[in-house]
Structure 1
């Protein structure tokens, strides 16, 4: 009888310990969700403030472009100087002084036009950067407002959005991005998290190219259907890796970069595993680039 009581006690104790563990895991999950929600809310506020600050500067740049384009000095200087050019030969000046004045009159409008053209080009470049920042803010705002619910996701569009978010970093490095996107079905998935996966992998790709001076600087993105799965691959011409590194790629905290957090690839793997997908990394070897393959169940 005593053995039975001991056995019952041990069973109850085991069940209580199991329930305690499950409650602790549930609590940690809720805390993480609250933390992520707080970060998302903070990010939305920061983005909103940046957008508000950007608007008046965009207006100022637009007005500056108009003033430069319609400047009376730029548009009418040559015409204004024509009477002076005609009058100089009859002026009581030495011949060499007359020639200097005539040369100035001929050169001045061209020099001013060239300077104005350069200024307009610089201001237009600033305007383009502002538009790029505004588009990035708009994308982040849109994705930050998405609920965690599943929704039908256009894979081609989300790849374009990920590239757009990283376009400035890619352009600055003169990296060629090539897309080969086949017709793939919409997927019911958490859109903002899939976007984060793609952004993380693109960032890893161009940073790997930075680390490989011999690289011809290109990134190839593909999307296609294979065996009831949507496959997305991101292949870069970066540093690559050896098999020993691959074994720890998706471990939390592991990074091969000096300033890396070790969270990006771990997040990618965790999210994809949670939806029944997976991520794989392949490389021929160091200095020969790498490919990350995302497998998403249809």
Structure 2
């Protein structure tokens, strides 16, 4: 800023075309004008201070050339004409002053070395060589010839030595041109490389800017002082809507409407400037009433901008609007809960059918026992006892003679003994049937209790023995398993109780048993077997439950879709059971997998659960394993 007046002054002597030149060309033009403005007052002052003689003629001519150069620069369309005019003027003035001087040694003056350097800088190596060549010929060839022919006695230096010195001066001028050319070439090469680098940088910056601008994400960058470096259009619009003002580059990033957010964000910025990367979700909403109120959920990522030697130069904030995703996740969760309820009701209906069948079978037994009791009571010998008691009552006053002399009295003791034996038999029959009736009622009661436990709401974690739950699930299917002639093989290892949701686990077990039962029911083999195995896995941290049947098996092309929602191979299946079982296993931070070697070779379903239940910081995996 302090030299702005100087550049303005120099540019005033340039034409409009020269002012529009690239920065490097403009710099050379300013050097030309500065040289003229420096030399012209110096020459004029010299002419005014010394008496005018023939020796001052070159100075006068050169001063006029300086002024003419300024006029040419004011009208020229390129630097070549005024620069060539000035360089040749300097050569002519210097040569004339040497030829007219009474001191021939002036040709060796150090100022002559400035002309090649100045010419190469202003005109380039080729035109600079022309100017340097003219000066070298005049000083190295014409000057000694002139001295030998016209003024041989003006110098004390021998002519041979003088000639060699002039030649050396010419060679030195050419050497100055060579050095200036090398410097100019290296400078131009570096300048071209810099221009290419800047062009590449501008291209990359343009691509990056286009990429950022085309994104709907909110993107902005801050320096180490939390001043805004850049921000895309989406961020500027969002900031204007939320904070009521523009996001200005160079100004410190702040929250004028929500100062409490400043207290949250400043520590985050400081952590990122220390080299840490942050990612979090945050809800944003407009504080002041607006025509279009804003309420969004943002997924925010803050990353440091790392420069040389790993030094943090700033930070970049990227925020994505995930409001729609959050709403979709909420709807998906609601759909999942509805699906679980539908599946639960479907499973409950299936279990209820089995329960009704089991209750029906038990009621048949109860009905038979009740019929036997009724038949026994209708044909009971108690009526004979009543007749004997009546007969004794009629002869109570002459009981001794009745028993001794009367034929009926004589048969009465034997009759009572026989009657007692019959009544004892009846009592045993009644006791047996009453016991069977009680067992049937208890069986019905236990079935109803298990159904109530299965149907109750889940979500409560309990430490439960898995074998007991499997037996409960088996009792729900006991009637159909027995009716189909399925042979159960239990292989229960000594495992500890696990922390689990009873409802979820019982639902999985019932579904897996139902699946195995249907597979065996559709199989044509006579020896139907279902093997249930419980063991520990994962170093004792996991409990493994396996259901292996020798039923119809699973086709390889069906394995990949087995746990998909709505997929079923049953004619009247709903496709919910295995899908919901897999989801329930995932909710308990376990996994459900299936393996089968093909149709007709049975299948094995494996349920793996953590012994200690789900951990708070553990996210469930949603992958389902098939093999």
- Give the TM-score normalised by the residue count of structure 2: 0.34
- Could you tell me how far 1:286 is from its partner in structure 2? 1.0
Pick one of 591, 603, 610 that aligns with 1:290: 603
Distance (whole Å) between structure 2 residues aligned to residue 202 and residue 26 of structure 1: 27
Specify whether residues 62 and 176 from structure 1 end up closer, same or farther in structure 2 by C-alpha distance, changes over 3 A only: same
Pick one of 449, 453, 456 that aligns with 1:138: 449
Residues 93-137 of structure 1: per-residue CA shift (max 9 Å, x gap): xxxxxxxxxxxxxxxxxxxxxxxx9xx99x999987665443221
Q: For structure 1, which runs of at least 5 residues remain unmatched after alignment?
A: 77-116
Residue 66 of structure 2 corresponds to which residue in structure 1? none
Pick one of 556, 562, 575 that aligns with 1:249: 562
- Could you tell me how far 1:67 is from its partner in structure 2? 2.5
Specify whether residues 176 and 125 from structure 1 end up closer, same or farther in structure 2 by C-alpha distance, changes over 3 A only: farther
Residue 486 of structure 2 corresponds to which residue in structure 1? 175
Residue 467 of structure 2 corresponds to which residue in structure 1? 156
Distance (whole Å) between structure 1 residues aligned to residue 479 and residue 497 of structure 2: 28
- Could you tell me how far 1:144 is from its partner in structure 2? 3.0
Distance (whole Å) between structure 2 residues aligned to residue 172 and residue 32 of structure 1: 32
Pick one of 171, 191, 197 that aligns with 2:502: 191
Residue 235 of structure 1 corresponds to which residue in structure 2? 548
Moved more, 253-262 or 269-278: 269-278
Pick one of 276, 279, 283 that aligns with 2:592: 279
Specify whether residues 5 and 20 from structure 1 end up closer, same or farther in structure 2 by C-alpha distance, changes over 3 A only: farther
The answer to whether the 8 A contact 1:209-1:215 is kept is: no
Q: For structure 2, which runs of at least 5 residues remain unmatched after alignment?
A: 1-212, 214-230, 239-297, 299-318, 384-428, 612-627
Residues 51-86 of structure 1: per-residue CA shift (max 9 Å, x gap): xx99x999876543322344526999xxxxxxxxxx
The answer to whether the 8 A contact 2:365-2:437 is kept is: no
Moved more, 225-234 or 211-220: 211-220
**Helix, strand or coil: the match of 1:196?**
helix
Moved more, 248-257 or 11-20: 11-20
Specify whether residues 216 and 75 from structure 1 end up closer, same or farther in structure 2 by C-alpha distance, changes over 3 A only: farther
**Helix, strand or coil: the match of 1:232?**
strand
Specify whether residues 124 and 235 from structure 1 end up closer, same or farther in structure 2 by C-alpha distance, changes over 3 A only: farther
The answer to whether structure 1 residue 260 and structure 2 residue 567 are counterparts is no
- Give the TM-score normalised by the residue count of structure 1: 0.68
Residues 238-262 of structure 1: per-residue CA shift (max 9 Å, x gap): 0011221111100000001101110
Specify whether residues 282 and 29 from structure 1 end up closer, same or farther in structure 2 by C-alpha distance, changes over 3 A only: closer
The answer to whether the 8 A contact 2:519-2:553 is kept is: yes
The answer to whether structure 1 residue 7 and structure 2 residue 234 are counterparts is yes
Specify whether residues 208 and 32 from structure 1 end up closer, same or farther in structure 2 by C-alpha distance, changes over 3 A only: closer
Distance (whole Å) between structure 1 residues aligned to residue 554 and residue 338 of structure 2: 36
The answer to whether the 8 A contact 2:529-2:549 is kept is: yes
Residues 146-170 of structure 1: per-residue CA shift (max 9 Å, x gap): 5421111110100000100000010
The answer to whether the 8 A contact 2:366-2:436 is kept is: no
Distance (whole Å) between structure 2 residues aligned to residue 58 and residue 67 of structure 1: 14
Specify whether residues 14 and 296 from structure 1 end up closer, same or farther in structure 2 by C-alpha distance, changes over 3 A only: same
Distance (whole Å) between structure 2 residues aligned to residue 124 and residue 153 of structure 1: 32
The answer to whether the 8 A contact 2:369-2:437 is kept is: no
In the alignment of these two chains, the number of paired residues is: 247
The answer to whether structure 1 residue 72 and structure 2 residue 383 are counterparts is no
Specify whether residues 180 and 75 from structure 1 end up closer, same or farther in structure 2 by C-alpha distance, changes over 3 A only: farther
For 1:107-122, list aligned pairs within 5 A. Answer: none
Distance (whole Å) between structure 2 residues aligned to residue 74 and residue 261 of structure 1: 59
Distance (whole Å) between structure 1 residues aligned to residue 571 and residue 599 of structure 2: 17
For 1:15-30, list aligned pairs within 5 A. Answer: 15-25=322-332, 27-28=334-335
**Helix, strand or coil: the match of 1:231?**
strand
Q: Cα RMSD over matched residues? A: 4.2
Residue 105 of structure 1 corresponds to which residue in structure 2? none
Whichever of the two has the greater Rg, that structure is 2
Moved more, 242-251 or 142-151: 142-151
**Helix, strand or coil: the match of 2:524?**
coil
Residues 200-238 of structure 1: per-residue CA shift (max 9 Å, x gap): 111111111121102511111010111221010111110
The answer to whether structure 1 residue 218 and structure 2 residue 529 are counterparts is yes
**Helix, strand or coil: the match of 1:221?**
strand
